[in-house]
Every structure is written in structure tokens, then in C-alpha cells.
Structure 1
């Protein structure tokens, strides 16, 4: 029986579309085939595997992968801050910068913007989510944050899960104004964050290696920003300055090669997500949208 395709709602086209999954055959074998369990646990989830793959993407020979990648996935070269032939390795291309006008930042002071390009899912009340990818599975906030007291504070808060595919722009940004703390690292494995993997093991999101930054804001209290690593992510690179005021849309950092995930958590009663996010997330469907577009509005 053919595997069900992964679909998402594209905010740009206003259509439900099918995702063309990078490395789909490998993902389905390792997460859906019983024979894939051995290489998954012995090799693929381990940091050494992703570090090795990341080094391959830093090698000069990897530059040859750029043109075929552009042709296969239709990436818009007109958005690039630098010409495609200026990149010396695939990784340089992967964490490329874009022209500022390619990602305009919603200007209204009442709006919160997406921190990254990707496919987004929201939990308006984290504690009320009883079926996270699999029926009866709750999102384990205490494990994600590594702090039971902090989890209690955000238990009824709101969460935005932004999943970045290899074809996406891989720099991440601040969703609102504030003052960020130093990023705290929590070690863990590096499973894939694809829906193929999450549908079998939702706990990946709170098990994988991750970094947590607290953004102190004038209107929204403390907003938690988490970068979640994944298979073949060479590393998470922070480019911001801790304890210095930032503006909505400022760059926070970037992921080196691989699919990855960015999680944003708000205190209870501070924001309301956009209607399309609520509507599609209710049925478990992600919404594709770009960094800088409106994800939520501040309440009060």
C-alpha cells in the first residue's frame, strides 16, 4: 500500500499542497520499516553521524550539489543576497542570506511574526493538546524545557512549531521586540523532525538536542525561543548578542545543513494565533508561511 503523502496548506497560494520530501525514501525506511530501526538507533540518530554529514557539506566538492538542488526544488534565486555561483560549498548555500525585501517584516506593533520560513503548527493551549501526532500523546513540556517549574508556568501557554525543510531559507529571526538571554543548550539525539518520523515518535521534539533562549519583552512577558536540531544538522549557530535589545525580525542565528525546527512558546493569555493556523492545526495540518509574516496578535 503506497504511503500517504504529506500535505500542508500554503498561505502564499491559498491551496493545500503535497510536500516533496528531501530524502523521503531514506526517511520512510528508517522510521516506517522495522529493518530501519537498527541503522536508526546505531547510527542515524547519533551526533557523530550528523557531524560527519555536515563536514561533507563543508567540503569543496559539495559545491557541485548546488545547481541540481536549485533545479530540482525550484528555489527562487532572485531572493538571494549573493549569486548562487559565489558559494564555495553546499553549506554556504544552505545557510545563505536573503535580500531584506525578500522577507518584509509585518510592521504593526500588535503583531508577532514567524521566526523562520517553514511549515507551521500551533497549540493555542499546550495542556489541552491530548493528541500530538498520535492519539493520546501529550506534548511533554517539562522534558522539552528541562525544568518542571518553568513548564508549569507555560503549561497553558501557546506554542508555535516551525518545521524547516532542507529546501527552506535556514536563518531564524526574532518574532517580536525584546532583550534575549544567553542560549542554554540541552543535549540529546538527532532524530529527523519530518512528519514521517514524528508520526511514529512524537517525543522527538522534546528529546532532540536543542537550545533555549528567553526573550524578555515589554508586552508579552517572557517568550521562549528554541532551536531543535535534527538528523544531518551540522550545528545550530547563534549570531545575536545576549542581553542587548533586538527588534522584531532581527536575525537570531542559522542552522547548518539539514532539516530542523524552531519552537516559540508564549505565556498564557498573551497572544492569539492567526485564524488559518488555528483552523489547519486543529486537524493536524501544517501551514506554510515565511519569516516576517503575521503569526499572531498580542492580546490586551
Structure 2
């Protein structure tokens, strides 16, 4: 794969992603020795556990300034200053200042749950050719429930892939009452296109959390957070069974790349035209949390 390219909604241009550990990912998923290491350490969680331990040590904070400079992180948005973080993970899942991510439209607008590269489909049961031709979603395995898979099969779905350089808190796309999340076990492989182009199955075998949101305007919306290599923690910060406003914080990922998926019942949402257009071209679209994902039908 010649780098990871995506469409930037704000510049209107195709851009190349700055991939953290790009050579490592190419080795892990593109060579036989790399795949052996994947099975021995990474899938079993050893690598992610060690990475989490290191990123929580006070000494890891020394690497924050270099990371900010290399990847052009906008610290003007951060609630904490550069020298205020306890460790690297404290920086990684930093909160932003109020107003840093204004919400698009009103309650008739569903917003992206995270700063990410997004893809969207009008029907979950017709997703194919994601990152590489011939790959299809296994919806029952992904949701861990055949009846839920049937409920969302003909509805829209949006996949939001966060890379390690992104803001790593995720938010509710619509207003509603979220139930308690359900954890599903699994390994921790990468969710980078380097990995997914070889096997989409990482999405439904990785560790993940599923939450059902009951919304007066949107029906039942399912949110799925998927962990990845280096992400030993998916932390939910919302209160189950209490009303959550559109754009309210739902939780955060610790260090690593990760993915959020939003599932809608049939006939509930009309996805943004640029999102559908770029997905149809096989390309992800970058947009920030709070920007328009789609409109209610």
C-alpha cells in the first residue's frame, strides 16, 4: 500500500496521512516474520499491556513535545497546557477547551462522534470492498448479536477511524438515553488500512464496547467502540440510563489507533453527500467531531 490517503472535507483535497509507526505496520502485516510476531505478542495483548504501562509512567511525558511538533498537534485547543500532563496517556486522551468542536445544525443533524477518517454506507448489509475488493462485513459477529444485526442490516452505518495523532475522546452523535455498554473480548490488532486491507475481521475480533442509545428522534442507535494495537483501555465516562445530549462526551481511548462505528435503523438518517461520494470511491473522509454526519429523514 502506497501510504494512506484520505479526502479532507475542509481543504477539499486528497491528502496523505502521517502514520505513526508506518514501517512497523508494513512489517507486521506485510511480512511472514511480522505476522508471526503479531500472533505471539500483539494479538495476545502483551504488546498493548506493555505499551499502556509505559505510556502511564511519568517519564513518558518527556516525549510529548516532540510528538506535538512532529505531528502538528494544535495545542491551542487543549484544556491543559503542554507542561501540565502527568504522562503521555494524559496528553493522548486530553480534553479540549469548551467550544473547540462546535456542533453542526440542530437536533435534526447527527454529528460525527470523533475526529477521524470516516466512511459511510446507506445499508449495513451491502458493505463490500472496504479497503480492498471482495471483503465483506460480518454484522452478527461485529455486534455479537444476531437479532441486533437483523435490526440494523438495512440501516445506515458510519465507520470512524481514529489515528494516534487525533483527539481521542468520542461523543454521542445524537441525543438520547444510552444503556450500559457491553464489553466483548478479543485481541488488539491494528485498525489501520494496512491491517484492514488484509482482513476486515479484526473489527469483529478486537476488543470492543457496544452501547444502545434510545432516541426520541432517531430511534435506537447502536455505538460500537473498537480497540486496536496499543489500546489497552476503552474507557466509558457517560452515566448509563441518563439523558445524554448530542455531542456529549461518551468516553475515550488510551494510546493507539481505534475506531467508532454508529448504526442506524432503516429510514432514520440521510448520510452527508460528500461522505457517501468518497466512500463510493473507496476513500475515507476526514472530518472533526461535531461536524455533520447526516440529517434525519
Q: TM-score range by the shorter chain?
A: over 0.9
Find the counterpart in structure 1 of residue 189 from structure 2: 191
After TM superposition, list the pairs within 5 Å mapping 1:119-198 onto structure 2.
119-198=117-196
Structure 2 unaligned spans of 5+ = none
1:134, distance to aligned residue in structure 2 (A): 3.0
Taking structure 2 as the reference length, the TM-score comes to 0.98
Structure 1 unaligned spans of 5+ = none
1:8, distance to aligned residue in structure 2 (A): 0.4
Moved over 4 A (4+): none
SS across alignment from 2:33: helix
Bigger shift: 42-51 or 227-236? Answer: 42-51
1:107, distance to aligned residue in structure 2 (A): 3.6
Find the counterpart in structure 2 of residue 87 from structure 1: 85
Q: Does 1:27 align with 2:62?
A: no
* Structure-2 separation of matches of 1:107 and 1:272: 14
1:263, distance to aligned residue in structure 2 (A): 0.6
* Structure-2 separation of matches of 1:107 and 1:277: 17
Q: Alignment RMSD, CA only? A: 1.0
1:108-132 deviation per Cα after TM superposition (whole angstroms, max 9, x unaligned): 2210000000100112111122323
1:137, distance to aligned residue in structure 2 (A): 2.1
* Structure-2 separation of matches of 1:248 and 1:205: 25
* Structure-1 separation of matches of 2:40 and 2:117: 29
Q: What is the total number of aligned residue pairs between the two structures?
A: 297
1:93, distance to aligned residue in structure 2 (A): 0.3
Find the counterpart in structure 2 of residue 53 from structure 1: 51
Find the counterpart in structure 2 of residue 42 from structure 1: 40
2:286 to 263, 285, 288: 288
1:134/1:202 contact within 8 Å kept: no
2:3 to 2, 5, 28: 5
* Structure-1 separation of matches of 2:99 and 2:144: 38
* Structure-1 separation of matches of 2:30 and 2:222: 32
* Structure-2 separation of matches of 1:187 and 1:61: 31
